[in-house]
Chains A and B, each alone.
Chain A
Amino acid sequence: MIRIYLLFLLLCCCFIVTKADIPAKDTLVADFDDLPAAIDLRPYILSLVDKGGLLTPQQVASASFTHSYHLFHAEKRHIGKGNNCWMKLHVSNTGQQDSTLTLFAGWHDDMSWYIQDSASHQLRLLMHTGLMRDRSNVQRWEHYGFKVNVPPGSKRTYFLHINNKYYNENGLMPTLFNDLQYGQFRNAQLEYYRKETILIHVLLGMLLVCLAIAVINYIQLPDKSYMYFAAYMLGLILFFTLRLESQPYQLSVFFRWPMMKYYWDIPALLFCFYLMYLAFGNTFLNLQERYPFMEKLFTSVAAIIGGIIIICFYCIALEQYQVPVMIYSYVYISTLLPFLVVFIALARRSRHHPLVRFFLFGSLCFYMASFGSFLMLIRPLGLINALGEISAPSLLIVAGVLLQSMFFLAGLSYRNKLVHHERTRTQELLIKQLNKNKELQRKLNEQLEELVKEQTTEILRKKQELEEQRKAHLETEFDKKLTEIELKAIRAQINPHFIFNCLNSIQLFVMQRDFEYAQKYLSDFSFLIRKTLDFSRRNFISLSDEIAYLNTYLGLEKMRFEHKMEYEIYVDPVIATSELEVPAMLLQPYVENAVKYGMTNSNYPIGKLLIQFNQIAPDMLECLIEDNGIGIIRSRTLRTLPKHHQSSGMEISFNRAELLNKMYNTGIHIDIIDKSENNNSESGTIVRILIPQL
């Protein structure tokens, strides 16, 4: 049964084709009961083109219509500024039954279906529909079949007003179907467009995935290139979604806003394939650093494209749909070659950079796809039409877009990786730097520690040194003190013998009742003791004091030895005795010795003692103590005392000179001369003391 049916259909088609050049007739005469499969209405339709769009239905009713075949076309066609036409159809039913036929003239923006009243010739609107009019979703596609109802044996006149403002017009091929055939036709159309729709859906899915990836990546790593890529994807998605709008019997999202598909047609292409593409390339390849000139070029071209997009929007708003197409075709043609140049330049500039490779491969894929598609379209559509359909979702273009997206996405991932790598490297570097810093800090600490240690040692050493110095200083000070004390001790110890012998003598005078002598002796002795006590506390005394002291001392000695000795003190008259200072008690021991040994000489019963003070130089006082004893040499040999009992008087004197010199930094010099050394006939000792004047 189906086979027969199909055969019948085929026959119908053959019939249609053979009927194509049937001469025009004014009225379609058909048996509504037994209609052929589909009646091509072209020969029966009279048409009128209303260029200004000013005709009212009343005017049309009386206007003259002509046969104009050029209006009709089976496929989509570029019509430039739009098409506003009226069509008139006379139908007479020769059949017996009252049945309804359906007229289908294609999908157009604005369509009005009128019936002419046979009596008044007035047009009565039966149906007003169109892609731009009908806001219902899938149902609207049912509105394009206009009902033709002619009672049996009667004749009716219908008017169809088609107003297409868009530059592309869907096929315009009026055909009359009965109900069954219209259903079949509808199914065939549904099938035909479904393929394209599926393609679009698949593409949309992929693009959405890409968008999702881009958005996710952008959230993770806020990079501008992701944003541009996402915008590019979004633009494409919107573009292709809007494409669904014009696919019959398909679910569309944007059916409520039919103008959108116009607004987002050419501008979408410009936006996606130029503006976003350039912006993406700019940031993706980091042209600002890598290729500043290219960056400038990209930016300026993107700006120009932006301007063009705005112009396009403006034109669309003014319903001048063909202008953007023209602009786009110029833009496309004019950028074909420059793009190629740019690709080559980029490839040459950074041949081995993987990002550039990704970008170039993606770009080239789409470039080739669009170019190929364009070339393929030129033949059936002509150059201008081909340009208009350049973005139509042909397999090639879709493949190109997908490939480009893939490449770009891959590139973005790679870029991500690079950034991550860079970040890791930076982190590693930072860590390294940190470690280095730590190391440095450690070293510094160590150095500091060492320094501190060294300095501490230094300080300790210094301290020790200081301590030693202090010690040494103290020692010298102590030495000095000791020396002084020793000296004082020596001074104080000078003559216990003498003291007690003196006291003994006084005792004797008292016992002998020689009170005058005793008093004299006692007063002299107390003077001497007082002076001794006084001098032992002082280091220097005036020479006059020294002389007085010696005088007293010698007087007492003389008294003790009862004129067995004589003495004389001679002072150089130039000496100012009261001003000149000499070390206290320096001379006394020598004088005492001289007294002691001066009386040992058996040749002289009377010991003679001479003390002289001479100024031998302006700053040098000479002091001579001379006796006429046996002399120091002989007296030494005479001494039978064991060594440990040696008289310490002289030693004390020598020591005293040394001590004095040490203490006061003076250059006191003491010579002891035996007179017999110079002259054998003489005997005695001379003590020569040189006292430098300070």
Chain B
Amino acid sequence: MIKAVIIDDERNSRDIISLMLEKYCPDVQVAATASDCADGIATIQEHQPQLVFLDLEMPDGTGFDVLLGTREVAPFEAVFVTAFEKKFLHTIRFSEVEIILKPIDRESLMNAVAKITDRIRANASTTRYRVLLENFNNGRNINMDMVIPVTQHEDKIIGLHTVSYLEASAEKCIIHLSDQQQIIAERSFRYYTDLFSTLRFYQINNHQMVQLSQINGIEGDGGRVVLKNGERLEVADRRRKELISHWKQYK
């Protein structure tokens, strides 16, 4: 049995989470609920749950505030529940924490609970929450850290600024770092391109995406980019112009 706490400012929300847990995740037992941050922190401290369902936005704070306020208590896993994740997209996604979007569907809830259950059973580290909070404090900038899920291994944590370029590789994504290191992530190339499209990255062709800060120069009228680590990458014809303008803007 996994002891869980639900923190949400809407009663309807709390009710539905507990209802669905009861129905689809019999392993999870809801120990208590709370309707705001302060209440949530107190409830966690009181019940020492293994799992917390956290609403992101509440009248007196966010789910992050709850995490911040419970750093002293025994580490627990968290599932964020929100109607709209855009505001904290990178914060959440970079740290690879579980998130469920309202209205809650069965599959995502069950997936999240299954993952969490696995982690609890494996007694996995909870560094991702540290990364999450750091990212939350640092904001959407280049100093953010990323948790990269790697098959059969512990997750890797890297700084965003060290990413040189991403490369597609079947269902996985190879992350090339500026120090020539390569990480094969358990996520698709498409997942990362979507995530990075609003950051200072540029997809130079169908299977490669370069961080603009890692470009040393552009050769042959935009035909090739030279990276700071000396690597040269081909640029698709139709993307040259845009790349040059992006790069100029960045410089």
A-B interaction = yes
Report A's interface with B, CB cutoff 8 A.
496-501, 503-508, 511-512, 560-562, 596-597, 599-600, 638, 640-645
Known A503-B103, A504-B104, A641-B62: A497·B12 in contact at CB below 8 Å: no
Contact A497 B88 (CB under 8 A): no
**Cα distance, A503 to B82, chains bound together (Å):** 12
Q: Among B12, B62, B65, B87, which residue has its beta carbon within 8 angstroms of that of A560? A: B12
Please give me the residue from chain A that is nearest to B56 by CB atom: A497
B15–A512 CB distance below 8 A: yes
Q: How far is the CA of A643 from the CA of B139 in the complex (A)?
A: 8
* A496 x B61 contact (CB < 8 A): no
Please report the C-alpha to C-alpha distance between residue A561 and residue B136 in the assembled complex, in whole angstroms. 28
The answer to whether A600 touches B16 (Cβ under 8 A) is no
**With A501-B13, A644-B140 already in contact, 9 other A-B pairs whose C-beta atoms are closer than 8 Å:** A497-B57, A501-B10, A504-B13, A506-B103, A508-B15, A562-B11, A599-B59, A640-B65, A641-B61
Q: Which of B199-227 contact A (CB under 8 A)?
A: none
A500 touching B87 in the complex, CB below 8 Å, given contacts A638-B60, A640-B65: no
A644 to chain B: closest residue by CB: B139
Question: Of B10, B15, B16, B84, which is within 8 A of A496 by CB?
Answer: B84
Chain A residues whose C-beta falls within 8 Å of the C-beta of B86 in the assembled complex: 496
* B150 interface residue (CB < 8 Å to A): no
- A597 contacts B13, C-beta separation under 8 Å: no
From B10, B57, B65, give the contact of A505 (CB < 8 A): B10
Known: A497-B57, A596-B59, A600-B59. A504 touches B84 (CB 8 A): no
Q: How distant is the Cα of A561 from the Cα of B88 in the complex, in angstroms?
A: 24
Among A498, A507, A600, the residue within 8 A (CB) of B103 is: A507
Q: How large is the interface on B (under 10, 10 to 19, 20 to 34, 35 or more residues)?
A: 20 to 34
For the complex, what is the distance from the CA of A12 to the CA of B97, rounded to whole Å? 185
| A643 / chain B contacts, CB cutoff of 8 Å | 139
Interface residue B137 (Cβ < 8 Å from any Cβ of A): yes
The one of B19, B20, B83 in contact with A501, judged by C-beta atoms closer than 8 angstroms, is B83
- CB of B102 within 8 Å of the partner chain: yes
- Whole-angstrom distance from the CB of A230 to the nearest CB of chain B? 96
**A511/B101 contact (C-beta < 8 A), A501-B10, A560-B10, A599-B59 known:** no
Q: Check B59–A508 contact: CB distance below 8 A.
A: no
Given contacts A512-B15, A640-B65, A641-B62, A501 and B87 within 8 Å (CB-CB): no
- Which chain A positions have C-beta within 8 A of B15? 508, 512
B11 pairs with A511, CB closer than 8 A: no
Tell me the complex Cα distance, A54–B12, Å: 183
Cβ A645 vs Cβ B87 within 8 A? yes
Q: Which residues of A contact B12 (CB under 8 A)?
A: 501, 504-505, 508, 560
Q: How far is the CA of A643 from the CA of B15 in the complex (A)?
A: 32
9 nearest A-B pairs in the assembled complex, by CB-CB distance = A500-B83, A644-B139, A496-B84, A505-B12, A504-B102, A508-B16, A503-B103, A507-B103, A504-B103
Q: Which B residues are CB-close (under 8 A) to A645?
A: 62, 87-88, 136, 139
- Give chain B residues whose Cβ lies under 8 Å from the Cβ of A562: 11
Contact, CB under 8 Å: B137 / A504: no
- Point out the residue from B19, B62, B140 that lies within 8 Å of A511, measured CB to CB: B19
**Could you pull out 8 A-B pairs where Cβ atoms are within 8 angstroms?**
A496-B84, A499-B83, A500-B102, A504-B102, A638-B60, A642-B139, A643-B139, A645-B88
A residues less than 8 Å from B140 (CB atoms): 644
Which residues of A lie under 8 Å from residue B61 when comparing CB positions? 638, 640-641
Contact: A642 with B103, CB < 8 Å?
no
B218 to chain A, nearest CB (A): 29
Q: Could you tell me which residues of chain B, from 18 to 71, have a CB within 8 Å of some CB in chain A?
A: 19-20, 57, 59-62, 65
